Structure 1
């Protein structure tokens, strides 16, 4: 359930046409008490069970609309709840597409069998109007690499905006979900103007900050006209802080953060020229400039462009960087590169042929001829790789590390 706002143009997620809003309120207030109670009862009968804490949601929405209601007298409780209902609507956030997953360790590994691990999968969901949001799944990987997804909750919830700070580079927001909401219920929907048409392709990484762990994700914010990179930070997948990224390297898509610092600096793989991959170091996690090009299109399956497929994965042999390449008829495939462990600017080896490419039987979908991932993880001697097929559904591949290294030259 999302706020419904009689919108002002140009579109602003936080703007409301107060004249239209007040006309709606006037009509509700014109109902006699009995009719208002019957109308509220009818709404509850239709929507109870489809959402958590429905009456509380109505009252909370009415609280949000206080500025638009200032011209009106005091409301009865029934009127207030009914007015709140008129300014909400249901949105099928993954009705059109579900794709581009990334995977990280779950912060809670309690009661997991020895050799197994619990994970969180982030997925890009698309609904009406091609608006992208971020949603989650949980599951476990057994000692032998078998992936099991947990059942999803039948409900979905958006977070409360705990705080919003407007700076010269855009809004920084803090979002908080309720603890009683299952991870699979949590949907991060666009909350700023720069994100108004989508939160796209989050690349999560479990970052070792020395004395604690932070889960960071770079993602593409799309306003409908422009794109830029932004950063999500969380320690528990319950509260999230979203911050704009600055610098020349943050103006394009596909930034992937290394899971630890190098010599006191953050490191990122980015593509800010639409073709090549760059290694960038920064003293400031939120500012990224310049960098050195370390990978350029070399093989036919990546002649159009290459990009990273998530955060680099640390192996004994070096840093494994999964990549995507775009070839003829904009066919997307997934490959791999091995970077030097001490100096990631050195390319040790790369795949001449894709690891995964679209199969003829699975090439149709929301976006045809695409396989894509936003991040894999190491599990013992395997790489667990979630990937999307034609932007329609997601699958998992298990790849033995020794076999993968043997494919690179």
Structure 2
């Protein structure tokens, strides 16, 4: 049963944990699926971005990611190639969102900044919350923003399908913020997610609460896309 599957640390680089796995069903050019996950290996002092892959969730292949763009946390792979290349979101400097193209899935160079903090609730840093989701309106990306009192909020943006360097729209306000019942925990005042799924025109967002438990929220997809493409959206300057 896949619900019983647990992935444990297997190397010295992971001896203090494997964190923030961003799973994605990737469609290869021949139409066949493979599942990837980018995650952070932590040895107690240093972090290392790594890539996991599987076709059946019984056998796994794991290895490090390389290149100038494979730094820090928040690496998230697009679910298919664009113009013949793999595409990845990243946050190499810890504050801004970047995008990279590569011919090889394990090597990432030449990151280009596509988003920086714009609003008060994200002025400390922004990042992605998992792999982009393909919709007819564009690539839907869940994001997180860190603002005053180190409050982590969840939000969303929309990128162009053929050229994800182009931001179509970004929400001016968060989708989710920690409420009074969600603020206390091992890492307080934090909501965090590593991805969402679409089901029956609803965007389902699982998320962690201050590192002590988890929950989920749902958002009507049509309404969200209308917000991201309508006159009230925020666009990159």
What range describes the TM-score normalised by the shorter chain of this pair?
A: over 0.9
Displacement of 1:187 in angstroms is: 2.0
SS at match of 2:118: coil
Superposed counterparts of 1:297-316, under 5 Å: 297-316=117-136
Rounded Cα–Cα distance in structure 1 between residues aligned with 2:3 and 2:198: 23
TM-score using structure 1 length: 0.55
Q: Say whether residues 1:239 and 2:62 are aligned partners.
A: no
Determine if the alignment matches structure 1 residue 375 to structure 2 residue 195. Answer: yes
Q: Which residue of 2 is the match for residue 123 of structure 1? A: none
How far residue 406 of structure 1 moved from its aligned partner, in angstroms, is 3.1
- Structure 1 runs not aligned, ≥5 long: 1-181
Q: What CA deviation, in whole Å up to 9, does each residue of 1:117-164 have, x standing for no partner? A: xxxxxxxxxxxxxxxxxxxxxxxxxxxxxxxxxxxxxxxxxxxxxxxx
Partner Cα distance (2:200, 2:82) in 1 = 24
User: Unaligned stretches of 5+ in structure 2?
Assistant: none
Which structure is higher in helix share? 1
1:365, distance to aligned residue in structure 2 (A): 1.4
Greater strand share, 1 or 2? 2
1:317 and 1:184 map into 2 onto residues whose CA distance is 32
**Residue in structure 1 matched with residue 13 of structure 2 by the alignment:** 194
Match of 2:176 in 1: 356
Secondary structure, aligned partner of 1:232: strand
Query: Which of the residues 322, 343, 346 maps onto 2:142?
Result: 322
Q: Distance in 1 between matches of 2:219 and 2:6?
A: 30
Tell me the secondary structure at the aligned position of residue 121 of structure 2. Answer: helix
Q: Which has the larger radius of gyration?
A: 1
Note the aligned Cα RMSD (angstroms).
1.1
2:223 aligned residue: 403
Write the distance in 1 (CA, Å) between the matches of 2:5 and 2:180.
34
Runs of 4+ in 1 over 3 A off after TM superposition: none
Looking at structure 2, the residues matched to 351 and 402 of structure 1 have their Cα atoms a distance apart, in angstroms, of 14
Say if 2:61 is the partner of 1:251: no
1:397 to partner: Cα distance: 1.3
- 1:77-116 deviation per Cα after TM superposition (whole angstroms, max 9, x unaligned): xxxxxxxxxxxxxxxxxxxxxxxxxxxxxxxxxxxxxxxx
